[in-house]
Amino acid sequence: MQLSHVLEREYGRENPASIALVESICAIENVDPTELPTEGGFVLHDYVDPTALDSLVGDGTGDGTTVVSFEIVTEKTYAVDICDDGRIVIHHDGSP
């Protein structure tokens, strides 16, 4: 499947990768983060351990050599890349 839209966001010390990822998907879906399980149809820890994710990529000040990639597949597909240099890139099949 070709994912036609890309959303890029940043995370950092004040906003860890796991939180920034949830906020990013909520922005795509136009839902409040507390509504993501019912409106978006998933919770993040069903796909990745948020604590482990934040530990792997740190506070976003890395050199870009560590990248965590995974897919979240519900009614929509999100291909997620989180880099230790503070970048989150989400390829998705919804609106931009």
Domain total for the chain? 1
At 95 the pLDDT is: 55
At 72 the pLDDT is: 94
At 75 the pLDDT is: 85
At 17 the pLDDT is: 98
Total Cβ atoms within 10 A of residue 63 = 8
Each residue's pLDDT tens digit in the chain (96 positions)?
Answer: 567 899 999 999 999 999 999 999 999 989 998 898 888 888 999 999 999 999 999 999 999 999 999 999 988 899 999 999 999 999 998 655
pTM assigned to the model: 0.91
- Which of 52, 46, 49, 78 lies closest to 66 in space, CA to CA? 52
**Which contiguous run of DSSP H or E holds residue 66?**
none
Domain that holds residue 50: 5-92
At 40 the pLDDT is: 81
